[in-house]
Chain A
Amino acid sequence: MYDRDFVKRAITSPFISNLTEEVVRQELIDGFKHGVRSAIVAPGQCELINELKDKYDNGYSRIGMVVGYPYGGMTTNMKVYLTKLAKEMNLDEVDVAFNVTAAASWDFGTVKKELELILEAADGELDIIPMLWMVKFPFEIVNELCRIYVELGIKSIKTSAGIHFGRMQVEHIAWLYNNWGDKIDIEVAGKVRSRDVAEDMIAAGAKYFHLGSWRRISGIGQDIQFDFDTKETYFGEYKEAEK
């Protein structure tokens, strides 16, 4: 795959706590300039993403916001409030973390009811892309979540999150694609750290990649790094093992 084609599959989301305003801005500008698939922000960054989209829009990159990410521990009321905010801010999508406590308890009725309310708040104007937490949940629970998402007419899912231990594996994608790939698009999130793994995932059915290292993995540059000694955030050489 050409590097340029991989960039078109990349999703950036600069909102974790070790960033600075300057780095966030640069990351989003670069995302637009290179033509990533989506730039996803936190609720407090909606004005910024709109400002940058006005200036750097490329006709391809989508903008979105996270709702309840990544643990889904907010109340339904809060998630609905944030979804309405995303709609008011004219975003394209929201990435939603479902009620994980309910899912872990096999209370899928609660999971579904919450998503119905979020969909109602989006009122057809936002794409709702819910998570699966595949690195944490057994396939039985993932399967139930997919069933609910398909029943609700959802077209894309996000596989996991990168904040925690556990990495998405090619086998996860193969399972997901074999079982649900004809109904939902697969956006991979969860510590994909090398181009080889990413290409294997594409072969297995993945469509997009939510990546902190999208430049490096795409082969076009260096990504955001944090120096624990100086507490500085900068664009520089990747230091972690590629697995």
Chain B
Amino acid sequence: MKIEKLSKVMGGRILETYYDYANVSNLVYESLDFEFECIQVFPNMIQKAKEVLRGKQMEICAVISYPHGTFLPEQKAFEIEDAINEGATQVEFVIHTINVRSGNWEKVRDEFKACRKAAGDCIVKAIIECEWLTDDMIAKVCEIAAEEKIDRISTSIGVYTRPDENKNDVLIGVEPEDVKKIKAVVGDKVKIVAQGNVDSVEKCEALLSAGADYISSEFAADILRKCE
């Protein structure tokens, strides 16, 4: 895959405990060098990212109610407005998955409405956590996202684990099948961000072929270095 093609849809993310200010700076420099589509950071990293950018253009996406999403709509709206005031140009909220799993569809809709309104003209993304949802739940939540004008649906937060056959914890990653399920519902009405342990060019190709419009990865620069 050509680097120019992948970098245009690539987001770099650092959403972990061990990242310090230097890691934020590195992410910003990598994003400029490789011309990422955006960087995804915690709200309290935005100021540092802006400082390093020194006015250069780069979309800064703040994660909201991350990682569990068990917030009320007004609480998410407050955090979105707060992140935008800090300098975020995109926001990505984790949906209230417990509501989705409980079939509280009106509450899900209220949340999407509140987040859309709070984000104003900024791009707003909803992380739907495919790993915890049945196909029907994925379909329904995607339908509501499209109706409520959510710009992008993201597949996963990428930090949950499950036990493998040896009973060791392994990270749950996004699979092309997840993307296909979302694409089947939203078509071209909502863009799809494939994220959750994407760590190779081949994985990116598979996800994009399945219908993803964007990729987001902790290994964004490493992946791009391996492109043609």
Point out residues on A near B: beta carbons under 8 Å.
15-22, 24, 41-45, 69-78, 81-82, 85, 99-102, 104-105, 107, 133, 136-137, 163-165, 226, 228, 231, 233, 239-241
CB <8 Å contact, B97 and A71: no
Enumerate chain B residues within 8 angstroms of A105, measured Cβ to Cβ: 20-22
Contacts of A231 in B (CB 8 A): 101, 132-134, 137
Q: Are A71 and B71 in contact (CB under 8 A)?
A: no
Q: Which of B69, B137, B160, B163 contacts A163 (CB 8 A)?
A: B160
CB distance from B174 to the nearest CB of A (A): 15
Among B45, B68, B104, find the residue whose CB has the most chain A CB atoms closer than 10 A: B68
Q: Which residues of B contact A136 (CB under 8 A)?
A: 17-18
Alpha-carbon distance A74/B78, docked complex (angstroms): 12
Identify which of A44, A73, A104, A228 contacts B15 (C-beta below 8 A). A73
Tell me if B42 and A78 are in contact (CB < 8 A): no
Query: How far apart are the CA atoms of A15 and B163 in the complex, in Å?
Result: 20
Interface hub of B83, B98, B133 (most chain A Cβ within 10 A): B98
Q: Which residues of A contact B133 (CB under 8 A)?
A: 231
Q: How far is the CB of A215 from chain B (nearest CB, A)?
A: 19
Q: How far is the CB of A76 from chain B (nearest CB, A)?
A: 7
Are B96 and A100 in contact, with the CB atoms below 8 A? no
- Given known A43-B71, A43-B75, contact A75–B82 (CB-CB < 8 A): yes
Contact A17:B68 (CB < 8 A) given known A22-B102, A77-B82, A240-B163: yes
Known contacts: A74-B79, A101-B45, A107-B21. The answer to whether A24 contacts B98 by CB under 8 A is yes
User: Is B19's CB under 8 angstroms from A17's CB?
Assistant: no
Q: Is the CB of A44 within 8 A of B70?
A: yes
Within the assembled complex, what's the spacing in Å between the Cα atoms of A24 and B98? Answer: 9
Contacts of B169 in A (CB 8 A): 165
Chain B 18-36 per-residue mask, 1 if CB under 8 angstroms from chain A, else 0:
1111101000000000000
Closest chain-A Cβ to B213's Cβ sits at a distance in Å of 24
Minimum CB–CB distance from A193 to chain B (whole Å) comes to 10
Indicate if B54 sits at the interface (CB-CB under 8 A). no
Closest residue on chain B to residue A97 by CB atoms: B17
Interface of B is mostly: mixed
Check if B79 sits within 8 Å of A78, measured CB to CB: yes
State whether A20 touches B68 (Cβ < 8 A): no
- Could you tell me if B70 and A101 are in contact, using CB atoms closer than 8 angstroms? no
Q: Which B109-152 residues sit within 8 Å CB-CB of chain A? A: 129, 131-134, 137
Given the contacts A81-B78, A231-B134, A19 and B42 also touching, CB distance less than 8 Å:
no
Instruction: Name the prevailing secondary structure of the A interface residues.
Output: loop
- Please measure, in the bound complex, the distance between the C-alpha atom of A137 and the C-alpha atom of B22, giving whole angstroms: 16
Query: Which chain A positions have C-beta within 8 A of B20?
Result: 101, 104-105
Nearest first, the 7 A-B pairs at minimum CB distance are A73-B42, A42-B70, A17-B97, A104-B20, A21-B102, A241-B167, A105-B20
The smallest beta-carbon distance between A108 and chain B, in angstroms, is 12
Chain B's closest residue to A160 (CB) is B17
CA distance A82 to B43 in the complex (A): 15
What are 18 A-B pairs at a CB distance below 8 A? A15-B68, A15-B70, A17-B101, A20-B102, A43-B75, A44-B71, A70-B17, A71-B67, A73-B43, A74-B43, A75-B43, A75-B86, A78-B82, A101-B21, A102-B21, A104-B19, A105-B22, A107-B21
Query: Which of A20, A101, A164, A233 gathers the greatest number of chain B CB atoms within 10 Å?
Result: A101
- Known interface pairs A45-B70, A163-B67; A228-B43 also in contact (CB < 8 Å): no
* B72 is an interface residue with CB less than 8 A from chain A: yes
**Bound state CA distance, A109 and B72, in angstroms?**
32
Residues 80-118 of B, flagged 1 when their CB comes within 8 A of A and 0 if not, give 001100100000001011110110100000000000000
* B104 / chain A contacts, CB cutoff of 8 Å: 21
How far, in whole Å, are A105 and B70 apart by their CA atoms in the complex? 29
Q: Which residues of B contact A233 (CB under 8 A)?
A: 101
Q: Tell me the B162-182 residues at the A interface (CB within 8 Å).
A: 162-163, 167, 169
Besides the known contacts A99-B44, A101-B42, 15 further A-B residue pairs in the complex with CB atoms under 8 A apart: A17-B129, A18-B132, A45-B70, A73-B66, A75-B43, A75-B86, A78-B78, A78-B82, A85-B75, A101-B45, A101-B48, A105-B21, A107-B21, A165-B169, A240-B167
